[in-house]
């Protein structure tokens, strides 16, 4: 029986948990926590539930996680029967990580973490941990291309206060609506320039601020295609949790 079709979690997960320090309880909450509550594990699962399957894509979603630790967490989840490692047809030596039935069953739990965090973690605390790589990766993944022109559109984002290596980003929407993200100038003519401090753009992405208000307050500057500029709030897509209202300030 493979991890992909099994109905339960592997006993390897329990063995691994014992070496890391078991709660020593038969309670299902404790046993699940032994597998899922190691550092970064829930965040890696967030990325997989959002659609990332390849190692490099997972790394882009967890840019502060070392490759070695990511490899370890993927191995632990595979041993636990939460994910499976599958060869990519036609690409020798390349693998994808796919959620098993047990892994897919975690989706409501992972989404529940996000809903709780959006509602109950204060705005000030939410905006303490800023990361341009993660922000732009999430934007690429959730951008809505339907309001975009029927041609290639290139949008450059500039975060003036960010170190040079992560200051400029380009979102490219192809005519077929495929979306790409570049941190190096792709060489295309830019249709819209977006300049903002990272905190403001993160707040917009999380639904804590609007494009219109940020432009009015001169926290965001839009230069270029007027259609793209006026529809930015729509095509930006926003975080899947942006619709949840903060219950704490």
Percent of the chain at pLDDT above 90? 78
pLDDT confidence of residue 40: 96
Q: What is the CA radius of gyration of the chain?
A: 20
Question: Domain 11-105 class?
Answer: mainly alpha
Handedness of CA 218, 221, 223, 225 (dihedral sign): negative
Residues 233 and 212: beta-carbon distance below 8 Å = yes
CB burial class (10 A; 0-12, 13-18, 19+) of residue 50? Answer: middle
- Number of alpha carbons in the 13 Å side-chain half-sphere of residue 82: 23
Domains in the chain: boundaries? 11-105, 125-235
Two structure tokens written together for 158? 């500039």
Q: What is the pLDDT along the chain (249 residues), one digit of tens a residue?
A: 344 444 465 555 545 544 456 888 889 999 999 999 999 999 999 999 999 999 999 999 999 999 999 999 999 999 999 999 999 888 888 899 999 999 999 999 999 999 999 999 988 888 988 999 999 999 999 999 998 999 999 999 999 999 999 999 999 999 998 999 999 999 999 999 999 999 999 999 999 999 999 999 999 999 999 999 999 999 998 999 998 988 876
pLDDT confidence of residue 71: 97
Q: CA-CA distance, 201 to 224, in Å (whole number)?
A: 18
Question: Domain 125-235 class?
Answer: alpha beta
Instruction: Give the chain's length.
Output: 249
């Amino acid at each position: 029986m493979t991890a992909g079709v099994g109905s339960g979690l592997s006993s390897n997960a329990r063995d691994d948990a014992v070496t890391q320090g078991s709660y020593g309880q038969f309670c299902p909450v404790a046993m699940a926590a032994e597998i899922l509550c190691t550092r970064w594990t829930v965040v890696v699962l967030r990325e997989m539930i959002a659609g990332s399957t390849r190692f490099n894509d997972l790394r882009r979603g967890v840019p502060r996680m070392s490759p070695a630790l990511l490899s370890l967490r993927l191995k632990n989840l595979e041993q636990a029967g939460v994910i499976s490692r599958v060869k990519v047809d036609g690409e020798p030596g390349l693998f994808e990580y796919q959620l098993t039935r047990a892994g897919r069953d975690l989706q409501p739990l992972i989404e529940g973490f996000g809903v709780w965090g959006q509602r109950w973690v204060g705005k000030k605390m939410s905006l303490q941990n800023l990361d341009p790589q993660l922000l732009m990766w999430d934007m690429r993944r959730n951008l809505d291309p339907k309001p975009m022109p029927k041609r290639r559109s290139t949008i450059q984002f500039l975060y003036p206060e960010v170190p040079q290596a992560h200051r400029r980003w380009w979102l490219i929407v192809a005519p077929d609506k495929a979306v790409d993200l570049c941190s190096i100038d792709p060489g295309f003519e830019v249709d819209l320039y977006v300049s903002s401090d990272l905190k403001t753009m993160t707040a917009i992405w999380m639904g804590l601020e609007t494009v219109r208000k940020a432009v009015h307050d001169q926290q965001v500057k839009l230069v270029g295609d007027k259609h793209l500029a006026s529809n930015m709030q729509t095509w930006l897509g926003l975080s899947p949790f942006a619709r949840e209202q903060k219950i704490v300030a």
